[in-house]
Amino acid sequence: MTASPPDARPPLVLASASPRRLDLLARLGIVPDRVVPAEIDETPAKDELPRLLAARLAREKAAAVAALAPGALVLAADTVVGAGRRALGKPADAAEARRFLQMLSGRRHRVSTGVCVVAPDGTRRERLVTTILSFVQLTPAQIEDYVAGPEWRGCAGGYSIQGRAESFVRFLSGSHSNVVGLPLFETAQLLRGLGWLRP
Ligand SMILES: Cc1cn([C@H]2C[C@H](O)[C@@H](COP(=O)(O)OP(=O)(O)OP(=O)(O)O)O2)c(=O)[nH]c1=O
């Protein structure tokens, strides 16, 4: 009889260029074996709802990287800010970040993250997590000040809750890590469900 190898888990590939996702996984004690950012078109389809966009893009990122990483367990995510029916992705420039913050000021909005895992045998598991937030009314000076800094860059909705923008958040209901880019409770559940993480 041959003994099973000490760690028979497939290698984990994180399909993301986001340093936030790497940091969040580290909080679960997980260090991916490889990081392979997915190159996909993130343009929303016409009238696509924000949360459905997040789910679709996570699925597409996972599929794109799974095709490049046979034998691996691939984890991908996508975070979208939803202001009503409008999906706010990563602002292209400061002017767009300013418009996004004006839109979010004094309002309730949702942040949705799609998480998709593809196992080596092609099994796909997904979760879609939504957090509800409410921003205080921002003054024009607050918005200008924020946009003059670096924290809006690369962040859906033009803000980063892990920085100064936490002071804009009057109310949050749901997962905080979901807003930062990866809902940790649900991600751990997915990995446990596939037997990759111990129960
Ligand atoms: C709302 C919000 C978003 N974000 C980040 C999380 C995501 O990195 C980013 C949303 O863009 P995504 O397209 O989800 O991710 P990404 O482009 O950074 O990385 P990749 O596509 O390679 O996985 O916004 C924060 O860090 N803090 C916040 O408060």
**What is the predicted ipTM?**
0.98
**Exactly one of 23, 33, 78, 121 is catalytic; which is it?**
78
Of the candidates 9, 120, 16, the residue with the CA atom closest to the CA atom of residue 71: 120
Using CB distances shorter than 6 Å, the residues near ligand 1 are 16-18, 20, 37, 42, 78-79, 81, 90, 111, 154-157, 159-162, 179-181
Ligand 1: centre distance to CA 4 (Å):
38
Return the best residue to mutate from 18, 88, 103 for the ligand 1 pocket (most ligand atoms within 8 A of CB). 18
Ligand 1: centre distance to CA 162 (Å):
12
Catalogue all structural domains in the chain, each as residue range(s) with its CATH number.
12-193 (3.90.950.10)
Find all residues with CB under 8 Å of 101, minimum gap 6, and list them: 138, 143, 146, 147, 152, 158, 159
The ligand 1 atom at the shortest distance from the C-alpha of residue 17 is 22
What pLDDT digit, counting tens, does each position of 35-88 carry? 999 999 999 999 999 999 999 999 999 999 999 999 999 999 999 999 999 999
Residue owning the nearest CA to atom 26 of ligand 1: 180
In angstroms, the first-to-last Cα distance of the chain is 27
Report whether pLDDT(112) > 80.
Answer: yes
Q: Which residue would you say has higher pLDDT here, 199 or 168?
A: 168
What pLDDT digit, counting tens, does each position of 78-94 carry? 999 999 999 999 999 99
Query: If you average pLDDT over residues 135-158, what whole number do you get?
Result: 98
The ligand 1 atom at the shortest distance from the C-alpha of residue 157 is 1
Task: Based on the residue annotation, tell me whether 78 is a catalytic residue of this protein.
Answer: yes
Across the chain, which distance is largest between two alpha carbons, in Å?
71
